């Protein structure tokens, strides 16, 4: 009836991002950076806080509901196994791709002695902070990460977003308990978590109404805090290799997997996941993006709630393809700049350590860089080399988070298809793309 077609969400977010960039650049030019920090940046922080606020309850509600809906333990282990295998497969592919690119393009050979010196001295302090953080991780024994997954107090675990894996553990465990008790006794709790899940997904919708403003504030704030353009230029070839690798993952690898295994077109996939990708870019955090990823995957990509509720929270915390690719490229780049030769065995070692390090990286801004220290150590590359790549870490973090989130969404579609739980999206865009 001639109704006006509304601008879709991803366009609104993109416009918000562009305006944020423009305002940021203008503020730097007019020397008004401080004003942006005081009056615009806080709104970005509020936006991220809102997303983080609902991440924990969402994980609890969706996982308990997801697991208990499966109705038997065999189904849960089948889905769990497929999820883990696919996550490892995508991560190893990403690291290998990064290694091929960095060894072919060799960005480290073009860095002059002066640039090397400048970067090393300028960012030595920042690098030391990351190295200290990584040391704390390492000093705790090889099985400590496993021990860390099992909380000794639920409320303590749920009180910090850093403990997501602990909460996931509890929620799966609780869900298993629900499967095992008589259905009539489980029903009341299932209904409760079902309702809670619905409420939180509705909150995601509400928060997303403010997303264009949120990303505007985030990007304006980032631009005024960014280091000088000169440093970006010096690290251009390294950044290009990372971005190229991430682009291959996002534009080619994931859509191809989706097409091959589910028959859904790249257009359908990107339209569905687009807003989550833009948020991942703006927030640099898979954890903060998780509520939106869940909403998009369930309502726009047709993944059943019980699969999305299980696969995505786990993916946000352990599956980081973009991060692992970046860690591989960064490690070899630093070695190249420092004139260290890495043989085949060291490079194979990087595949293993970058895979593990990305699993151990928290889903928050900059976490990938802390865990990079472990990759450097294992390959015998000096940790101080971290200072070389510091200047461009934030923009690369924004892009690797996009790959991380897209990888999670892809795996959720593949797992859903494999267990017969990929259906029609709940929203109308479907008809434009059905084949």
Residue 366 makes contact with ligand ASP by CB under 6 A: yes
* 27 touches 220 (CB < 8 A): yes
Note the helical H segments in 284-366: 286-300, 305-318, 321-337, 344-360
DSSP tag of 359:
H
How far is Cα 327 from Cα 97, in angstroms, rounded to an integer?
Answer: 12
**91 forms part of the interface with ligand ASP (CB under 6 A):** no
Name the minimum Å distance from CB 282 to ligand ASP. Answer: 12
Distance, in Å, from the CA atom of 38 to the CA atom of 200, rounded to the nearest integer, reads 31
Nearest to 364 by CA among 281, 287, 291: 287
| Spatial separation of the C-alpha atoms in residues 74 and 95, rounded to whole Å | 32
- In angstroms, the CA 197 to CA 435 distance is 31
Contact call for residue 90 and ligand ASP (CB under 6 A): no
Among 284, 317, 355, 406, the residue binding ligand ASP under the rule CB under 6 A is 284
Cα 227 to Cα 210: distance, rounded to the nearest angstrom: 28
> Nearer to ligand ASP by C-beta: 83 or 286?
286
Stretch of residues binding ligand ASP (CB under 6 A), selected from 176-184, 230-238, 265-273, 361-369: 361-369
Closest C-alpha to 55, from 307, 364, 277, 323: 364
Helices and strands (DSSP H and E) totals, the chain: 23, 0
- Name the residue with tokens 């077109």: 265
Binding footprint of ligand ASP, residue count (CB under 6 A): 16
Q: Which is nearer to ligand ASP, 221 or 302 (CB)?
A: 221
Residue 330 interacts with ligand ASP (CB under 6 A): yes or no = no
Taking the least distance from each CB to ligand ASP, the nearer of 36 and 316 is: 316
Site string for ligand ASP, 98-137 (x = CB under 6 A): ----------------------------------------
**Choice from 363, 376, 379, 422 touching ligand ASP (CB under 6 A):** 363
**What is the C-alpha radius of gyration for the chain, rounded to an integer number of angstroms?**
22
Q: Is 293 in the site for ligand ASP (CB under 6 A)?
A: no
Q: Cα separation of 401 and 223, whole Å?
A: 18
Any contact of residue 364 with ligand ASP (CB under 6 A)? yes
- The 299-328 contact track toward ligand ASP, x by CB under 6 A, reads ---------------------x--x-----
Which CB atom, from 140 or from 162, has the smaller least distance to ligand ASP? Answer: 162
Instruction: Give whichever of 166 and 401 is closer to ligand ASP, judged by the CB atom.
Output: 401
- Residue 413: alpha-carbon gap to chain centroid: 17
Nearer to ligand ASP, 145 or 366 (CB): 366
Q: What residue ranges bind ligand ASP (CB under 6 A)?
A: 284-286, 320, 323, 361, 363-368, 397, 400-401, 404
């Amino acid at each position: 009836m001639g109704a006006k077609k509304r601008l879709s969400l991803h366009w609104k977010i993109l416009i918000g991002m562009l305006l944020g960039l423009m305002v940021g650049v203008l503020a730097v030019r007019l020397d008004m950076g401080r004003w942006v920090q005081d009056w615009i940046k806080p709104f970005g922080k509020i936006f991220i806080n809102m997303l983080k606020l609902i991440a924990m309850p969402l994980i609890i509600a969706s996982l308990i509901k997801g697991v208990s809906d499966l109705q038997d333990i065999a189904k849960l282990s089948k889905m769990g196994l497929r999820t883990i295998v696919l996550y490892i497969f995508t991560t190893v592919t990403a690291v290998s791709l990064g290694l091929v690119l960095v060894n072919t393009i060799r960005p480290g050979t073009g860095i002059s002695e002066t640039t090397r010196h400048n970067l090393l001295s300028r960012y030595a302090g920042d690098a030391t902070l990351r190295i200290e953080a990584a040391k704390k991780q390492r000093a705790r024994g090889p099985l400590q990460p496993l021990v860390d997954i099992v909380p000794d107090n639920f409320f303590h675990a749920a009180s910090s977003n850093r403990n997501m894996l602990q909460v996931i553990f509890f929620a799966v465990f609780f869900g298993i308990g629900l499967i095992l008790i008589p259905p009539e006794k489980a029903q009341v709790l299932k209904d409760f978590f079902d309702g809670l899940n619905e409420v939180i997904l509705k909150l995601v919708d509400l928060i997303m109404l403010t997303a264009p403003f949120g990303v505007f504030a985030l990007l304006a704030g980032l631009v005024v805090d960014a280091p000088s353009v000169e440093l970006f230029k010096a690290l251009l070839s390294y950044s290009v290799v990372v971005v190229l690798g991430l682009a291959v993952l996002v534009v080619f690898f994931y859509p191809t997997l989706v097409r091959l295994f589910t028959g859904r077109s790249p257009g359908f996939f990107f339209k569905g996941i687009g807003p989550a990708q833009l948020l991942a870019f703006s927030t640099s955090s898979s954890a903060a993006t998780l509520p939106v990823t869940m909403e998009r995957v369930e309502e726009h990509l047709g993944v059943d709630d019980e699969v999305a509720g299980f696969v995505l929270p786990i993916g946000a915390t352990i599956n980081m393809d973009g991060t692992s690719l970046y860690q591989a490229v960064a490690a070899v780049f630093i070695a190249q700049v420092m004139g260290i030769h890495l043989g085949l065995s060291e490079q194979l070692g990087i595949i293993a350590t970058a895979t593990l390090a990305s699993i151990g990286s928290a889903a928050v801004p900059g976490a990938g860089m802390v865990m990079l220290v472990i990759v450097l150590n294992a390959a015998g590359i000096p940790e101080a080399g971290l200072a070389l790549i510091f200047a461009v870490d934030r923009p690369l973090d924004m892009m690797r988070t996009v790959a991380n989130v897209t990888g999670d969404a892809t795996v959720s579609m593949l797992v859903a298809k494999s267990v017969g739980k990929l259906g029609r999206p709940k929203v109308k865009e479907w008809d434009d793309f059905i084949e």
